[in-house]
Structure 1
């Protein structure tokens, strides 16, 4: 990160940790393990497979941030927004990151409920269509007549009709096929599809896998107000164990801040835990992600969520007929648990 962004992130994180450490009491079963007290077991899902963009969770575990906060964390690969929501709501995992816009679309469409966002991971969306040179795709309109792949619950896929409408593209002329988080890039490299749903930070990994220059069509070009990933938990956990949620979020954000400041080390930590990791590509993903976590000049502190900005995002989606009228930021975000600016 730029020096200013790092300073803002570190200051905000210190504030969060200070607040969290000062409010101990109601979750005595989740005390830190340094004094011999049993750690609370938690299952955490990554957002989408085990790429560099999700290395911060492994860093939080490896550097002892989770243990210091009182947690024994098992990290499992997620399969996009829809899959993470379903697994968290069902109780098979307690936490995981989803794209906030994807969560809004799922909630507004009635496909998901009983979850809340408790911290921001990225201050703007990283959703994009990824392809490579030679596919004849340089602008959204070029996607017409093409074949794209993504997981069914991915935010890129679910938000695509809105993206198409805002860019003047005919979404009905695009064919989508189902893919898996860990094999999507191989599908693109193999030539069976023309593009894939991807985050913009996936560019280095796309190039490493396909051995071609990547071409990205970022959704933020036409929807700049949209947040990126947010940390979610179930409504039940948020209501019953709020201090536990704050402690976990603070530890995870500490791992995020450390990873962005030490991307090469974070990539090596990921490699030690996930054999298939390409350390150079993973570090490059983290370097690219820094601008989305604390965008320069945005005034946004790490982890925070602004109600007014979320309301504007909802209005954008409602204007594109992607969300029903009447939705509010408070339906999807627990602002009592979100880190304060």
Structure 2
């Protein structure tokens, strides 16, 4: 079934990639990267360190997609949703991906504001608890009494109370400790924790680092209909320079398109830019991510976001008591800037 699902995803992805190829370059500044024109300097944060799942940004830079769109992009490693949002809002970075659910939780709790999502990276959440065989974790209930690590503002950690409630887990019996994006897997390998917050595509890298079989508990098994990562920018930039946002988004999605179609090459590009890269694991992460990126196998363009579906996600979080009542999709997403289906 897994092989069949990935085959279906690959066919759907091919159709979607053909559509996304035409999503940029039509505005008046399409020649910004041409010789003689200054490039706009932009800082982009990855979602979580520099793993294969984020290699598409490096591909967009290496292949010249950013330059063609008029940008000189400085790519820096992000520290999850809780780190990317304040950096973008404060202007330290202009763009970065966050988990949409994490963004909703931050905005709903008043922890963050003044940012908007402008494109989807993954159509389904990839959030999960990750561990390895031998740690006594095979089901959500096994998490009770265990010690888990993650960055303080990560979506896995912030969404855990909702996941625990719906999975029948007593969240008070689970201990969380702080970690950093780049060292979490090493922490797990060292045995100081029983599990870590991670995306499901991290499975190959976990096994490469720990030398053990990975065990994952995907949040999507318990909380359906949640989007994964989305590209965000500040409300200020979105309002003052929407064409810049559209051009950048199109170039990044072009890098995503190429990376999923050429996972090994994308991994090699990442390895040329990030010394600690394991190319085999990075390529495997991209291959696993493909089925999460395709918009439901509908042939719809990559990057789209559906208002009705986001509203259903909000309702799930409201019913779980994780989100205040009354939030709307338009509060967190600028649908005028999102790629059209």
Q: Is the 8 A contact 1:123 1:300 kept in 2?
A: no
In the alignment, the residues of structure 2 paired with residue 212 and residue 187 of structure 1 have an alpha-carbon distance, to the nearest angstrom, of 14
1:252 corresponds to 2:249: no
Preserved contact between residue 46 and residue 78 of structure 1 (Cα < 8 Å): yes
Aligned-partner Cα distance in 2 for 1:75–1:230:
17
Matched, 1:75 2:75: yes
Q: Distance in 2 between matches of 1:128 and 1:35?
A: 45
CA–CA distance in structure 1, aligned partners of residues 282 and 183 of structure 2: 16
Tell whether the 8 Å contact from 2:163 to 2:222 is kept in structure 1 after alignment: yes
TM superposition outliers: structure 1 runs of 4+ over 4 Å: none
Residue 9 of structure 1 is matched in structure 2 by: 16
Aligned-residue offset at 1:143: 0.1
Q: How far did 1:145 drift?
A: 0.3
Report the Cα offset of residue 138 of structure 1.
0.5
> Displacement of 1:14 after TM fit?
2.9
Tell me the equivalent position of 2:210: 210
* Map of 1:55 onto structure 2: 55
Distance between the aligned counterparts of 1:83 and 1:31, measured in 2? 33
CA distance in 1, matches of 2:38, 2:162: 47
Contact 1:65 1:252 in 2 (8 A): yes
- In the alignment, which residue of structure 2 is the partner of 1:113? 113
Structure 2: gaps spanning 5 or more residues: 1-5
Q: How does 1:157-176 map to 2 (within 5 A)?
A: 157-176=157-176
Separation in structure 2 between the aligned mates of residue 23 and residue 108 of structure 1, nearest angstrom: 34
- The answer for the alignment partner of 2:154 in structure 1 is 154
| Structure 1 residues without counterparts, runs of 5 or longer | none
CA RMSD across the alignment: 1.3
**Alpha-carbon offset, residue 9 of structure 1:** 1.9
Q: Equivalent residue for 1:22?
A: 26
What TM-score comes out, normalization by structure 1 length?
0.96
Q: Which moved more, 1:135-144 or 1:31-40?
A: 31-40
Deviations 1:23-64 (A, max 9, x none): 226xxxx95232310100000000000000000000000000
Displacement after TM superposition at 1:8 (Å): 2.4
User: Quick one: distance in 2 between partners of 1:269 and 1:45?
Assistant: 17
2-side partners of 1:15 and 1:268: how far apart?
A: 26
Which residue pairs with 1:319 in the alignment?
Answer: 319
Secondary structure, in 3 states, of the residue corresponding to 2:233? strand
1:295 positional shift: 5.4
Contact 1:31 1:38 in 2 (8 A): no
Do the aligned residues in 1 keep the contact of 2:13 with 2:290 (CA within 8 Å)?
no
> What TM-score do the two structures reach when normalised by structure 2?
0.96
- Counterpart mapping for 1:117-136 below 5 A: 117-136=117-136
Kindly state the Cα deviation for residue 296 of structure 1 after the two structures are TM-superposed: 5.5
